[in-house]
């Protein structure tokens, strides 16, 4: 397999690594592989960088088997890692059975939480301090909007996040790459899209946000304006913190005559 990154991919990934201090010299990086195009491309891109950058970091991959009996992505992942000469470990779990039995209102969030927990346990046992996920620029903007619309908070994916309880970092080297750029590179890794899908696939809040953004594509500036709003220095004028209800009630009563 010929390994290379074009100028756009190189520049965007290098910019993210430099700005957010994602990878340091001699790091030992673990890539979380799901079988999707984003994590597949992330592994490919980091392999290219490990061979050509001055950072000299080591690369390993891990995937979580959810216990989904129809799942058929493991042969693809093993083949990809063999071609890239990257070691792949599989963490066996029964997360899928637990989620289905519980009938959660938010299955995707719980699944992600359990998967991350399984990987962090693996990291602690095997001496890894950095876990790389394949989230991209579109993911960050979508998460930002989801937070505002569905939870009333201002929050998004961090390019680099320290999990203090476990003393590990989560890094997102693709955070400056648009999803369309990753799709454009799929032939390079011969991505196989014929996987059995999770029953909850395409039935999530994120898909609703994707639909909203898709309707706004006629105005390319909107996406970049939303992305700019994620920066700390974008905050201009906000309402004050909401007053405690008992104090507010007293203030309301004080308005009226006795």
SS (H, E, C) 78-134: HHHHHHHCCEEEEEECCHHHHHHHHCCCCHHHHHHHHHHHHHHHHHHHHCCCEEECC
Whether residue 1 is contained in a domain is answered as no
* CA–CA separation, 99 and 7 (whole Å): 42
Sign of the four-CA dihedral 109, 60, 90, 189 = positive
Whether residue 165 is contained in a domain is answered as yes
pLDDT at 217: 63
What CATH number has the domain bearing residue 179? Answer: 3.40.50.620
Domain total in the chain: 1
pLDDT at 202: 58
pLDDT at 112: 82
Whether residue 69 is contained in a domain is answered as yes
* CA–CA separation, 53 and 27 (whole Å): 12
pLDDT at 19: 96
> Cβ atoms within 10 A of the Cβ of 74, count?
14
Whether residue 2 is contained in a domain is answered as no
Range of the domain at 48: 7-255
**Closest alpha carbon to 198 in 71, 78, 64, 74:** 71
pLDDT at 203: 57
DSSP H helix total and E strand total for the chain: 11, 6
Sign of the four-CA dihedral 112, 158, 77, 191 = positive
* CA–CA separation, 236 and 187 (whole Å): 44
> Cβ atoms within 10 A of the Cβ of 44, count?
24
* CA–CA separation, 23 and 25 (whole Å): 7
**Closest alpha carbon to 41 in 91, 6, 15:** 6
Whether residue 181 is contained in a domain is answered as yes
Residuewise pLDDT in 10s, the chain (258 residues) = 778 899 999 999 999 999 999 999 999 999 999 888 999 999 999 999 999 999 999 999 999 988 776 667 888 899 999 999 999 999 988 887 777 777 666 777 788 888 889 999 999 999 999 999 999 999 999 999 888 888 888 888 999 999 998 899 999 999 999 999 999 887 777 765 666 666 666 557 777 887 777 777 656 788 889 899 999 899 888 888 999 999 999 999 999 876
């Amino acid at each position: 397999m010929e390994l290379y990154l074009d100028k756009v991919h190189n520049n965007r990934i290098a910019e993210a690594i430099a700005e957010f201090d994602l990878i340091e010299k001699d790091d030992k990086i673990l890539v979380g592989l799901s079988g999707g195009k984003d994590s597949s491309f992330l592994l490919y891109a980091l392999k290219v960088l490990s061979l050509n950058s001055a950072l000299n970091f080591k690369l390993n991959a891990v995937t979580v088997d959810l216990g989904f009996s129809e799942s058929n992505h493991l042969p693809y992942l093993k083949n990809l890692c063999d071609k890239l000469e990257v070691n792949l470990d599989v963490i066996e779990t029964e997360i899928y059975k637990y989620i289905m039995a519980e009938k959660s209102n938010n299955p995707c969030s719980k699944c992600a939480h359990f998967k991350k927990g399984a990987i962090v346990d693996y990291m602690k046992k095997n001496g890894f301090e950095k876990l790389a996920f394949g989230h991209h620029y579109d993911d960050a903007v979508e998460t930002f909007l989801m937070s505002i619309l569905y939870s009333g908070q201002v929050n998004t994916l961090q390019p680099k996040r320290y999990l203090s309880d476990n003393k590990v970092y989560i890094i997102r080297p693709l955070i400056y790459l648009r999803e369309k750029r990753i799709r454009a590179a799929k032939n390079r890794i011969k991505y196989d899209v014929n996987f059995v899908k999770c029953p909850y696939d395409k039935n999530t809040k994120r898909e609703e946000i994707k639909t909203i953004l898709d309707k706004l594509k006629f105005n390319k500036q909107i996406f970049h304006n939303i992305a700019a709003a994620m920066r700390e220095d974008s905050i201009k004028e906000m309402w004050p913190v909401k007053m405690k209800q008992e104090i507010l009630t007293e203030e309301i009563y004080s308005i009226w005559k006795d």
